[in-house]
Amino acid sequence: MKMLAPESGLVVWTAVSVLILLLMIAGLIHLLLNERIGRKESVAWILAIVFVPVFGSLVYFKYSRQHK
């Protein structure tokens, strides 16, 4: 019995990719609308979110919640 057919694997990877993309977009929008973060710090966060989307976004959201 096959647990995952190739087609279902494609669906899973597509769903994971879409979730990562949404997390990255949400992080970037939140960052750009946040007025408390300076320009240099914003550039650093943008680079972290774009180049390491999951880790960068999660760390940014944790950081932004602590500094309210």
For the stretch 6-60, pLDDT in tens is 667 788 888 999 999 999 999 999 999 988 888 999 999 999 999 999 999 999 9
- What is the pLDDT at residue 29? 95
Top pLDDT among 19 and 64 is at 19
- What is the pLDDT at residue 64? 84
Please state the domain extents for the chain.
35-68
DSSP annotation string for the chain: --SS-HHHHHHHHHHHHHHHHHHHHHHHHHHHH-TTS-HHHHHHHHHHHHHSHHHHHHHHHHHHHHT-
- What is the pLDDT at residue 4? 62
Contact call for residues 25 and 56 (beta carbons, < 8 A) = no
